[in-house]
Structure 1
Amino acid sequence: MIERRLKALANGPELRAHLLDPHTEAHLEAYAGNIEYGLGTVKMPVGVAGPLRVRGLFAGGDYPLPLATTEAALVASYHRGALAINDAGGCTSVLIDEAVSRAPGFAFPSVRDSGEFVAWVLGQLETMKAVTGQTTRHGELKGMKVTIEGNHVYLILQFHTGDASGQNMVTLAAEAICQFILENSPVTPDYHFVEANLSGDKKASAQSFTSVRGRKVTTEVVLSRQIVEQRLQTTPERMTDYWRFSAMGGVLSGTMGVHGHYANGLAALYIATGQDAACVAESAVGTTRLELTPDGGLYATLTLPNLMLGTVGGGTGLPSQQACLNMMGLAGTGKVRALAEVAGGLILAGELSIIAALSAGHFARAHRKLGRERGQEDTDTSTGQGDQP
């Protein structure tokens, strides 16, 4: 089938050489469940930052950080931040909540019907949990919230999804719950949708900060003045000056949360480890905060409420992506919570490095050195990118 598709394209032979390389061809069966009308694979650079020392509830130790990106200076920047965190003995990263939501919507003739439906459906949670159990061995319905908008009712169903990111899992469970409702509700809806766009799926939303989608992680580190000056080449005062300035900039521009560049590290980690890259849209929401410590050091923390990731399912079992998870020691069951805590540490490393670069006036110079002047080593300490992993 792939050969027929390639022959039908004008540049088929050239495409074959680039997309259907021998390794890909030998592992075609592994990709069958992840792509339709396949032609092969796209290769992109993968670098490694760290290892990063993480002290968490589920993650404990030093973790290499595989990052797939085409943006020069990115891996070097995250590596520099990781080294600063390691100098301080590591970061504390804690998983504080987890759930994946799906939000079916039901339309009724009137708001009175909506109210009658809600009065009934609120008493059906235990039955809905049993219905969910018939669709998956790994997920469970955790809870339900209800929003009424006139004659429309939204059910925000929150699921535990085991070690999977769980997008498909919760969709199938929500579909089964909808069918149960249609068959048993005392008020018949005019129509319904399995997802009515209130879950925050693959988009930034304000509800992130009062809820959770995926895994919610908070991470912190305290850097001494010496570490900031020697490793990050700036001062705690100037970094907090920049944080205040950028926080107000975020308010003025109307961003969801306040941070520097969560999407950079998350996209690179997601692609390297087989996550759904589109989930960066919701995962890259959160808050970074910097403060001076009483002894003149730097306290840095961030909270990521929407980390949509997994260590099983989706693209995590593909050859290259599985290799990257194995590199971290985080492949397979029982590892997703640790991966979420490591992701928090990775993003904190990136925030520290970019804020330091902007504070010290090195931001443009680092990109010029590593992004334009090709062929030079990525160990130039004048841009703060020294000490290769």
Structure 2
Amino acid sequence: MTIPSHIIDMLHKVRARFQIEPIQERMLPSDAEFTTLRPVRKASVSSVEKYWNRLQETASPMDQNALADPLTMADPDVFSANIENFIGTVKMPVGVIGPLRINGLNAHGDFHVPMATTEAALVASYARGAYASTKSGGISTALLYEGVIRTPAFVFDDLLNAGMFVEWVVNEIEPLKAAAESTTQHGKLVSVEPVVDNNIVFLICRYTTGDAAGQNMVTIATNALCENIAARCPITMKAWYIEGNFSGDKKASFLGLVTGRGRKVSASVTLTAEVVEKTLGTSVQAMLDYGQVANLGSHLSGQLGAQAHFANGLAALYIATGQDAACVAESAIGITRMEPRGDDLFCSVTMPNILVGSVGGGTSLPSQSAGLNILGLKGAGKGSALAEVAAATCLCGEISIVAAIAAGHFTRAHENLARHR
């Protein structure tokens, strides 16, 4: 087999750049003494100062002032429930779009949506989509399904024992449900679905979580369920694990796309031809033509679903409202559709994995609480409406980016709003 010449050239460059002996010395184990950081939950002025004293070799007083600013340091303990080894807060630019009119089962009215991002042009793009949607009468939204899942795994000697275990679980659902729900006031175990792979059994434990995103809630509840199984099940098991990496937690998965994990929401709007032309600067047919190509690209590249950039809108909204930003990894899958409706354009998104909460997590932190207050969706009874707002916001982004690329404005917009700002 002949090695391609470009690979040989690359290897020659690597060899010329690095000298073996200095690299070997630099990579030898070091036995120099050091003091490791141990997790500290309780934040105080003195604990923050202690950490900054440690960082003096690399960080300047200006860095300390930027993160440990006076407003943050007025009450460091307010952050203790959300972080360890606290040294300050990060300030991100927050923009707002709207009013975004939503005609939903849970979200109904005109919303101003806060979006935290460092990507210039993003807020402008979503604002344009929101304006076009509102001019066309608003976005219809519906929460179709909800259920946050945790998937513990149980290991047995053989397939026979795995099968006997499943039979036992099926007959013991009620006491297992009671054990899980004893850990939470708001979580409800709605189903347990066994998946057998020879001697290993995964239990898909699905919960409703009230107005919370519910990641920690379902973990604690499922742990109680598993301990109840371990204590009472007569089938000998070799091991059990609280999560078998089957649930799709913070990962895009086919399971999430098909069955959902979190809140499944559909959002749609019919844009009038006049709005498409005057507000978006293109035509219905041009958007349909590009949408067809983009849909093909989604399939050929193996995307889970078919959409343009859900992650942009979700990340900005999640950060602004105190959601777990890592959940964007699983929340940002779904389907965008654009179809003709006479002379007009029907646009929709269906998102099966929206993980948001109006209570719990980071929603009580000062800046994030302010973001939810701007929406009018902080506190109990608002979680489902927040999920519908998230889907509607993503639809605005899909409309705007498809219009921009169809019209040939995408690059120019980023040059004007980002590079040449």
Q: Distance in 1 between matches of 2:257 and 2:156?
A: 30
Is 1:4 matched up with 2:50? yes
The residue that corresponds to 2:418 in the other structure is: 371
Q: 2:389 aligned to 307, 331, 342, which one?
A: 342
Candidates 33, 36, 40, aligned match of 2:84: 36
C-alpha separation in 2, matches of 1:107 and 1:150 = 9
Aligned equivalents of 2:198 and 2:365: distance in 1?
A: 46
Larger radius of gyration: 2
Counterpart-to-counterpart distance in 2, 1:119 and 1:42: 51
Kindly provide the amino acid, as one letter, of the partner of residue 123 in structure 1: N
Tell me the distance in 2 between the aligned counterparts of 1:288 and 1:222.
Answer: 13
In structure 1, distance between residues paired with 2:357 and 2:227: 28
Counterpart Cα distance in 1 of 2:257 and 2:362: 28
Question: What letter matches 1:17 in structure 2?
Answer: N
| Distance in 1 between residues matched to 2:375 and 2:175, nearest whole Å | 40
Matches of 2:202 and 2:126, distance apart in 1: 40
Residues 257 and 353, structure 2, Cα contact 8 Å, conserved in 1: no
Matches within 5 A, 1:140-219: 140-219=188-267
Q: Is the CA contact (8 Å cut-off) linking 2:257 and 2:304 kept in structure 1?
A: no
> What is the Cα deviation at residue 123 of structure 1?
1.8
Aligned partner (choices 359, 375, 393) of residue 328 of structure 1: 375
Deviation of 1:16 (Å): 1.6
**Any residues of structure 2 matched to 1:98-137 within 5 Å, and which?**
98-137=146-185
One-letter identity of the residue aligned with 2:96: V
User: Any runs of at least 4 consecutive aligned residues in structure 1 with deviations exceeding 6 A, and if so which?
Assistant: none
The equivalent residue for 1:357 is 404
Q: Is 1:289 aligned with 2:342? A: no
Q: Which residue of 1 aligns with 2:288?
A: 240
- The one-letter amino acid of 1:236's match is V
Deviation at 1:75, TM superposition (A): 0.2
Correspondence for 1:312 among 359, 362, 381? 359
* Aligned residue type for 1:163: D
| Alignment partners' CA distance in 2, 1:154 and 1:83 | 46
Unaligned runs of 5+ residues in structure 1 are: 375-389
The residue number in structure 1 matching 2:40 is: none
**Whole-angstrom CA distance in 1 between matches of 2:205 and 2:133:** 38
Bigger mean CA deviation after superposition, 18-27 or 358-367:
18-27
The whole-number CA distance in structure 2 between the counterparts of 1:302 and 1:124 is 39
| 1:332 shift after superposition | 0.5
Please name the residue that 2:300 is paired with.
252
Residues 206-257 of structure 1: CA distance to partner in whole angstroms, max 9, x if unpaired?
A: 1223212110000110011101001111111110111110011011111111
* Equivalent residue number for residue 379 of structure 1: none
Q: How many residues are aligned here?
A: 373
| 3-state SS of paired residue (2:171) | coil
TM-score scaled by length of structure 2 = 0.88
Listed one character per residue, the Cα deviations across residues 145-171 of structure 1 (whole Å, up to 9, x for unaligned) are 110001000000001111111111110
Map of 1:384 onto structure 2: none
Do the aligned residues in 2 keep the contact of 1:175 with 1:194 (CA within 8 Å)? yes
> Any idea what the Cα deviations from partners look like across 1:235-292, whole Å, max 9, x if unmatched?
1111011111001101111111100000000000000000000000000000001001
Query: CA-to-partner distance for each residue in 1:323-369, whole Å, 9 max, x for gaps?
Result: 01001000001000000111111000000000000000000000000
Instruction: Tell me the percent identity.
Output: 50
For 1:29 and 1:12, how far apart are their aligned partners in 2? 24
The one-character-per-residue Cα deviations of 1:94-142 (angstroms, maximum 9, x if unpaired) are 0000010000000000000000000110122211221122111111111
Q: Deviations over 1:303-323 (max 9, x none)?
A: 000001101111010000000
Structure 2 SS opposite 1:122 = helix
Q: Compute the RMSD of aligned alpha carbons.
A: 0.8
Instruction: Give 5+ residue unaligned stretches, structure 2.
Output: 1-46
What is the identity, as a one-letter code, of the residue corresponding to 1:3? E
Residue of structure 1 in register with 2:98 after alignment: 50
Could you tell me how far 1:12 is from its partner in structure 2? Answer: 5.0
| Alignment TM-score, normalising by the size of structure 1 | 0.95
Q: Indicate conservation of the 8 Å contact 1:182/1:188, yes or no.
A: no
1:27 Cα shift?
Answer: 2.9
Q: Is 1:17–2:65 an aligned residue pair?
A: yes
Q: What are the superposed Cα offsets for residues 55-74 of structure 1, whole Å, 9 maximum, x if unpaired? A: 11111000101000000000
In the aligned structure 2, how far is the partner of 1:51 from the partner of 1:74?
Answer: 16
Q: Which amino acid aligns with 1:285?
A: I
